Amino acid sequence: MSATVDLLLIYEPPRQEKARVVTFKVTPQELERIDRAARLLGISRSELIRLALDKLITELEHQG
């Protein structure tokens, strides 16, 4: 049986927009990696995930 952890992500869009809450699941190991990377960068878990998503989406947009 694989364990998962619910992860709450608050997207902080540009100031003119209201933040939206997004919830998704990650494994405990993924959460540890997220938290470790966020600590190394001195940013929040949410900010790390936003940065990673933005990078991935930007790369995909430039491939199209």
Residues 30, 32, 33, 37, CA torsion sign? positive
Output phi, psi for 4, to 5 deg.
Answer: -130, 160
Cβ contacts of residue 61 below 8 Å, gap of 6+?
Answer: none
Q: Output the pTM of the full model.
A: 0.70
pLDDT in tens, 4-61: 666 665 555 556 677 789 999 999 999 999 999 999 999 999 999 999 999 999 999 9
CA distance 27 to 44: 18
CA distance 34 to 43: 11
